[in-house]
Every structure is written in structure tokens, then in C-alpha cells.
Amino acid sequence: MQKDLSSSAPQTPTGRVRHRRRSNEVPPEATKPNGSHLLIDDRNKYKSMLIRAYSSVWMIGGFAFIIYMGHLYIWAMVVVIQIFMARELFNLLRRAHEDRHLPGFRLLNWHFFFTAVLFVYGRILSQQLVNTVTSDKFLYQLVSGLIKYQMVICYFLYIAGFMWFILTLKKKMYKYQFGQYAWTHMILIVVFTQSSFTVANIFEGIFWFLLPASLIVINDIAAYFFGFFFGKTPLIKLSPKKTWEGFIGASVTTMISAFVLANIMGRFRWLTCPRKDLSTGWLSCDPGPLFKPEYHSLPEWLPQWFPWKEISVLPVQWHALCLGLFASIIAPFGGFFASGFKRAFKIKDFGDSIPGHGGITDRMDCQMVMAVFAYIYHQSFVVPQNFSVEMILDQMLRNLSVEEQLALYMKLGQIFQERQFGEI
């Protein structure tokens, strides 16, 4: 009897799971019985911190270099990040057995992905393309035609993918194929919901992309270190390692950083000037009232030895506080959502491309929420509501043919001439 029991022990469900568990699956010892496993109690936390810090230095250094290169390189970085995110999410529900019976089915997913790329970015970059090639008549007509028929091209590309999907349906695999079809579309919504807002922020001025992204990074790093050294009170069950100490410490750090970073970044025209075309040259423009310093006298009760009698504050710093508040309180819920999503699929990370951090998707959960808010806030509270001369000219160049522009020019000349004679 004892021999039978000992021989059957390895065949228990626990034993089978131990042999079949994937590298990114949540290990059973990762959580305590009460559902919490804080960093302050982690025996390997210093080793984990060094790996995470090493990866962070490389990521921040590469990010800073791309920011230095300019708008187009930042946009290219966003596209690369989206490709990695899509790959991680496509692989999440992938089943090798079924895929072997569906040759080319993964290619269909990427067909839909790049169709979405063309649709989203074609609408955003259309104006910049026109402004870039206005000096060449042939290129102008070519780009104008592509812009005009861009939606038609994207529509028929999607229809081609739709027909491709229907023609590849196989018996006994309908459920898997339709599940993958729905999953692909959900991935496109998740990945591209924030993409249009992110790229729009970049072309409005790198400042409006860089500051929100930096605040998320600062909040994440501060939450990690405050939780690492002081975390004792669990914050939310979805993320067992998150603590109230880390959350509060990160919020204070993020608010201070937002006010200081806005003052530093706002003094570089390269970061504050909007990009109206697809050139790569350095920008120089009137920074506008938001980026012109205002001087405030300090209180008289300060000691005489205090070196400063007044401070300069950029008006944009008050807007930065709003961005910092959102990055501290609301944006972390993007991370909580991702944690719940991973728990639903019983995985630890979306991928393993970044040592100590997981996958690209693990780093972008809060960034997606922040990018949408930054765009909406900028359009609602920062951009003036009146139409500028540049905006009107841009609309004319985009929507009117050369003959119509000439007719408009003649009509405006006639109107100005009549007004001039009327005043005389």
C-alpha cells in the first residue's frame, strides 16, 4: 500500500503543473497565503533591484538619445514599441498545435496590424506630409492623392484581410479561429487607442510627449523604491507588491518632479516648438506665453542670508501639476488593470524582453492611460480656441486645389482693394 502511494505521488495535478509551467507563469510561491508578498520581505530583492536598475539605465539612456534626435525618431520609437506590444499580445493566446494546421494565420494578424498603422498614422501625418513636399509640384500631387484616398486604401486592405480570414476557415477549428480574430481586433484597439494621441502630442511639441512620459517613469521608480525600503501596508490585491507607502511616496515625488521638470524642459525651444512638417532640422520659434518666465518676489520673512529674493516660474508649470496629479493618482490604475489581466491568464509578465521588468507591454500599461489624458488636457486647456493664420493656411493648402487657391487669392485681393477704396 505504501509502495502504491509513493509511486502515484508524482502523478498528482501539482506535479504535472510543475513540469508544464512556462517561464512567465506565476510560480506558486510568489504569493503568501494572505495574497500579499511585499518587496520589503523578499529575500532576493537586492539582486532583483540590481537587474531592474541596470535595465532601467539602458532604457532611459536610449530614450534620451531618441529624444535628442527629434520628432521623427520619437515617432519611429512609438511604432517599434507598438510592434513589440502586438507581438507579445498575439502570442498570449497562441496555441502551437492549432497554428500548425493553419499556415499563414499569424501573417493575417500582422496584415490587420499594419493596415491599422496605415489608417491611424495616415490621418495624423497627412498635414505634415503636405507641408514637407509643397515645394515640389509632382510630390505634392502624389502625396495629396495618397491623403485623399487613404481611407479607401485602408478599407480595401481590411476587406482583403476579412476575405482572407473567411477563406482560411477550417472544420473543427472555427472556435479557435474566430476567437483569434476577435482577440486580434481587441489588441488593435488597445495598442492604437493611444497611438494617435501620442503622435499628436509629439508634433504639438516634444514637451507634451516627454513630460507625461517622464512623470510615469518617475512615479514607477519612486513607487518601487519607497515600497522596497518602507512598504508594509498592501495597497490592492491585484498587485500584491504594491503598498500604500510606495503609492504615497511616489505621488509626492511625482508632483515635485512635475513642477521642476516643467521649468527645465520649458526653457528649451527644441522641446516646446511644434513640428509642422517631416523635416529633421532644429526648431526655433516664439515659445508662447506658457513658456515665458514670470517673476515672483519671495516673502519678506525669509532670512537675510537667503540667496534668492525672487523666483521665476513658467506658467506651464501649473499645468504640469495637473499632469503630475493624474500620473500619481489615476495612471497607476492602468498598471492595476494589467495586473488583473495577467492574473486572469495566470502569467507573471506579458513577455521577457526587458530583464527585471518583463515585456514591453508591462512598461506601457500606465503610459497608454497617461498619453490619452495628456492629449485631451492639452487640447482642452492649453491650445487656444481661436483660429490662427497658420491654421487657416494649412486648411487651404490641404483642401483646395491649385486653381481654387488662385481663385481665393484673386477674391481676397478684390475684397482688400474694395475696402481700401471704401476707406479713402
Closest CA relative to residue 173, chosen from 235, 115, 243, 102: 102
Span 88-138, pLDDT tens digits: 899 887 776 677 778 788 899 999 999 999 888 887 776 666 666 655 666
Tell me the HSE value of 54 on the side-chain side, using a 13 A CA sphere. 9
Q: Is residue 221 part of a domain?
A: no
Q: How many domains does the chain have?
A: 1
Domain encompassing residue 410: 388-424
Q: Is residue 422 part of a domain?
A: yes
- Specify the pLDDT at position 122: 80
Q: Report the alpha-carbon distance of residue 211 to residue 217 in Å, rounded.
A: 10
Q: Report the alpha-carbon distance of residue 192 to residue 116 in Å, rounded.
A: 8
Burial 214-243 (b: 16+ CB within 10 A, else e): bbbbbbbbbbbbbbbebbeebbbebbbbbb
Q: Report the alpha-carbon distance of residue 311 to residue 422 in Å, rounded.
A: 52
> What are 113-118's contacts with CB under 8 Å, separation 24+?
113/83, 113/86, 113/184, 113/187, 113/188, 113/191, 115/154, 115/157, 115/158, 115/161, 116/188, 116/191, 116/192, 117/79, 117/82, 117/192, 118/150, 118/153, 118/154, 118/157
Q: Report the alpha-carbon distance of residue 18 to residue 6 in Å, rounded.
A: 18
Name, of 82-96, 139-153, 198-212, the range with top average pLDDT.
198-212
- Specify the pLDDT at position 133: 60
Span 363-421, pLDDT tens digits: 888 998 999 999 999 999 998 766 667 667 777 776 777 888 888 888 888 888 887 77
Q: Is residue 336 part of a domain?
A: no
Name the average pLDDT for the chain.
81
Q: Is the pLDDT of residue 23 over 80?
A: no
The DSSP annotation for 186-216 comes to HHHHHHHHTHHHHHHHHHH-HHHHHHHHHHH
What average pLDDT does the segment 327-348 reach? 88
Pairing of strands 234-236, 294-297: unpaired
Q: Tell me if residue 410 falls in helix, strand or coil.
A: helix
State phi, psi for 301 to the nearest 5 degrees.
Answer: -75, -5
Q: List C-alpha distances in Å: 45 to 48, 105, 170, 241, 275.
A: 5, 42, 49, 12, 44
Q: Tell me if residue 358 falls in helix, strand or coil.
A: strand
- Here the cell at position 364 is 506601457
Q: Report the alpha-carbon distance of residue 338 to residue 349 in Å, rounded.
A: 9
40 pLDDT band (50/70/90 cuts)? Answer: low
Closest CA relative to residue 315, chosen from 289, 297, 335: 289
- Here the cell at position 262 is 516643467
Nearest 5°: CA angle at 197, between 194 and 199?
105
Q: Report the alpha-carbon distance of residue 62 to residue 85 in Å, rounded.
A: 18
Q: Is residue 403 part of a domain?
A: yes
Q: Is residue 393 part of a domain?
A: yes
58 pLDDT band (50/70/90 cuts)? Answer: confident
Enter the pTM of the model. Answer: 0.75
Q: Is residue 8 part of a domain?
A: no
Question: What is the share, in percent, of the chain residues with pLDDT greater than 90?
Answer: 33
Is the alpha carbon torsion for 313, 317, 318, 319 positive or negative? positive
- How many residues are there in the chain? 424
